[in-house]
Amino acid sequence: MRKTFDAELLELGHELTAMADTAQDAIDLVTSSLSKGGEEGAKAAIELTSSMDQMERDIENHCMSLLMRQQPVARDLRTISTALKMVTDLQRIGDQAANIAEISLLMASDGEKPEVPEDLAIMSRQAGLMVRQAIAAYADRDETTALAVVNLDDVVDELFVKLKQDLTERIAHQEDHTGRAVDLIIIAKYLERIADHAVNIANWAIFCVTGQLQ
Amino acid sequence: MDAILKTEHLNLWYGDNHALKDVTLEMPEHQVTALIGPSGCGKSTFLKTLDRMNDLIPGVRIEGKVIYRNQNIFDPQVDVTWLRRHVGMVFQKPNPFPMSIYDNIAYGPRTHGIRGKKELDQIVEKSLRGAAIWDEVKDRLKKSALSLSGGQQQRICIARALAVEPDVLLMDEATSALDPISTSKIEDLIADLKKTYTIVIVTHNMQQATRVSDRCAFFLHGELVESGETEQIFSVPKDKRTEDYITGRFG
């Protein structure tokens, strides 16, 4: 029974996974381009994030069509309504990655090749991983992975606080170009926001499985 | 939550077939309770039992209680006519009597001894208004009820049930033979009627159950698997079998 509907729900999971993969690629590209300098990586990241706009629309249309045609209830309804919520978080993640890319382009146009703190690179990897895992938790109906993503947020928050302190100290001791340090703080804040959106997605994944809102 | 009607450990056998298994369910006053489940799950049997419509079927054996206003309807002193005056039934297929619209509605009250024309006129109008069909038929009350459309006939049957002023209205798939417009009229009517009556419906239409009912009871193989608020049943059902049924994984 209901082979078509199950196949459509599976496809919806694939679409969200593809969008999350794109977000993670954009985050990776933009942070590696920061330390490498140059415009190429940042431009590629911006292109990736703009392709996410179309993905968002496609997923929304798919959800609306499933709601209309299948009139889902219970877990099916949660699977589709959470997809509608998560796609917005993914889109915001794309926006944040694009914002980082813009800053990176500005730095490159100034001819700067900033020394990127190791913690920022770690934050970026963590945030990207959280996005990927949150969507995987949804697609696999895996509450444990979703909870792990929620818990990872503390690590990212701590890294952000530490980075902010380090960079503020640099500014205070005028060890570095002040504007550059402020840019790096803003980038760290964007990464911290990306992790927050990943946590939102993980919470929706948990709701999808249990029916309980966190 | 006051249950005007409830069953306690209700069991029913058609010969060797155990059709209802230990069903305990409360149907609260002024609420719509929807009975759902696949064909043959016992929901219609359960509904009919509430009005003692199974009594005359050969080989039927019933144990347990159906309690209407603190009275077990199977007690020997209970008169079935009294019960059916208070617990009315509307069937799947509209079944108006082959007589005029007026006489269809007046039939029940006449049976209960009401003869005065003025009083009958009042009852007929009130019942037809209650069933949201007065405006459509007021100018042709003497016409045969069989000349009406299916949806109108079903509302005539509801009006006929209302004419004896019952407390409880049982509806067995009352809209399954109707088009979407007639269905939505009956669904609106159910929402109005529950202010005055307590309603129990059997439906195969899950969307209808979510639209009209306050509470839902899911039957499977004669067993009551789960009952609760409709919102809960259709968002986070407790039993996997309920989830599988309402999402169309079987049934």
Which of B206, B234, B249 is nearest residue A1 as measured by Cβ atoms? B249
**What local confidence, expressed as pLDDT, does residue A62 receive?**
96
Q: Cα(A137)–Cα(A148) distance, rounded to whole angstroms?
A: 10
Task: Name the DSSP letter for residue B198.
Answer: E
Note whether A201 and A172 are within 8 A (CB). Answer: no
Q: Which residues of B touch A141 (CB under 8 A)?
A: none
pLDDT at residue A176 in the model: 60
Which of A1, A2, A73 has its CB closest to that of B206? Answer: A73
The pLDDT, as a whole number, for residue B250 is: 77
* Residue whose token pair is 């009958």: B120
The DSSP 8-state label assigned to residue A174 in this structure reads T
List C-alpha distances in Å: A200 to A88, A90, A138, B2: 10, 10, 12, 41
Query: Chain B partners of A1 at a C-beta cutoff of 8 Å?
Result: 248-250
pLDDT at A38: 75
Q: Going by C-beta distance under 8 Å and a sequence separation of 6 or more, which residues neighbour residue B227?
A: B25, B215, B216, B217, B218, B233
Q: Are A12 and A83 in contact (CB under 8 A)?
A: yes
Which residue from B minimizes the CA distance to A1? B249
Going through A10-89 in order, the beta strands assigned E by DSSP cover none
pLDDT value of residue A33: 84
**pTM, two decimal places:** 0.84
Q: Do A71 and B236 touch (CB under 8 A)?
A: no
Q: How far A210 CA sits from the closest chain B CA (Å)?
A: 8
CA distance B182 to chain A (A): 21
CA distances from A62 to A52, A83, A138, B38, B242 (A): 15, 10, 17, 30, 26
- For residue B251, name the pLDDT band (cuts at 50, 70, 90): low
pLDDT confidence of residue A37? 76
Alpha carbons B123 and B109: distance in angstroms, whole number: 8
CA–CA distance, B251 with B242 (Å, rounded to integer):
11
H/E element, B19: strand B17-28
Q: What is the pLDDT of residue A112?
A: 67
Q: Mean pLDDT of all residues in chain B?
A: 94
Amino acid at A100: I
B67-86: per-residue pLDDT in tens? 999 999 999 999 999 999 99
ipTM of this complex > 0.90? no
Judge whether B97 and B177 are in contact, CB under 8 Å: no
Nearest by CB to residue A1, choosing from B206, B246, B250, is B250
User: Alpha-carbon distance B150 to B202, whole Å?
Assistant: 19
Distance separating alpha carbons of residues B107 and A59, to the nearest angstrom = 58
Q: Are A205 and A134 in contact (CB under 8 A)?
A: yes
Q: Please report, in tens digits, the pLDDT of each residue of chain A (214 residues total).
A: 578 899 999 999 999 999 999 999 999 998 888 878 778 999 999 999 999 999 999 999 999 999 988 999 999 999 999 999 999 999 999 999 999 999 999 888 877 667 788 999 999 999 999 999 999 999 999 999 999 999 999 999 999 999 999 999 888 887 667 888 899 999 999 999 999 999 999 999 999 999 988 7
Distance from CA of A70 to the nearest CA of B (A): 10
d(CA A79, CA A6): 11
With CA atoms as reference, the chain B residue closest to A78 would be: B235
pLDDT score of B90: 93
Closest Cα in chain A, distance from residue B21 (Å): 26
State the pLDDT at residue B233: 95
Residue A34's pLDDT is 83
Task: Give the count of beta carbons closer than 10 Å to the beta carbon of residue B31.
Answer: 20
Amino acid occupying residue B10: L
- At A3, the amino acid letter reads K
Q: Which chain B residues are closer than 8 Å to A5 by Cβ? A: 248
Q: Which of A1, A73, A78 sits opposite B210 (nearest CB)?
A: A73
**Best of A71, A73, A80, A209 to mutate (most B CBs within 10 Å, chain B):** A73
Measured between CA atoms, the residue of chain A closest to residue B208 is A71
Under the banding of pLDDT at 50, 70 and 90, the label for residue B56 is confident
- Spatial neighbors of A128 by CB under 8 A, at least 6 apart, are A23, A24, A27, A28, A194
- Report the pLDDT value the prediction gives residue B100, as an integer from 0 to 100: 97
Preferred mutation among B247, B249, B250 to probe A, highest tally of A CBs within 10 A: B247
d(CA B158, CA B162): 6
> A213: nearest CA in chain B?
B236
- CB contact under 8 Å between A211 and B246, yes or no, is no
CA angle A79-B212-B151, nearest 5°? 125
Contacts of A78 in chain B (CB under 8 A): 235
Euclidean distance between CA atoms B53 and B39, whole angstroms: 19
DSSP A157: H
Residue B121, pLDDT > 80, answer: yes
Query: In degrees rounded to 5, what are phi and psi of residue B96?
Result: -65, 150
Which residues does B6 contact at the CB level (< 8 Å), separation at least 6? B24, B25, B26, B27, B66, B67
Write out pLDDT tens, residues B17-34.
999 999 999 999 999 999
Whether B247 and A74 lie within 8 Å, measured CB to CB: yes
Q: Are B170 and B163 in contact (CB under 8 A)?
A: no
pLDDT at A107: 85
Q: What is the pLDDT of residue B55?
A: 83
- The Cα A131–Cα A196 span in angstroms is 9
Please compute Rg for chain B using Cα positions.
18
Tell me what pLDDT residue A73 has. 93
Backbone φ and ψ for B200, nearest 5 degrees, come out as: -125, 125
Domains recognised in chain B with CATH numbers: 3-246 (3.40.50.300)
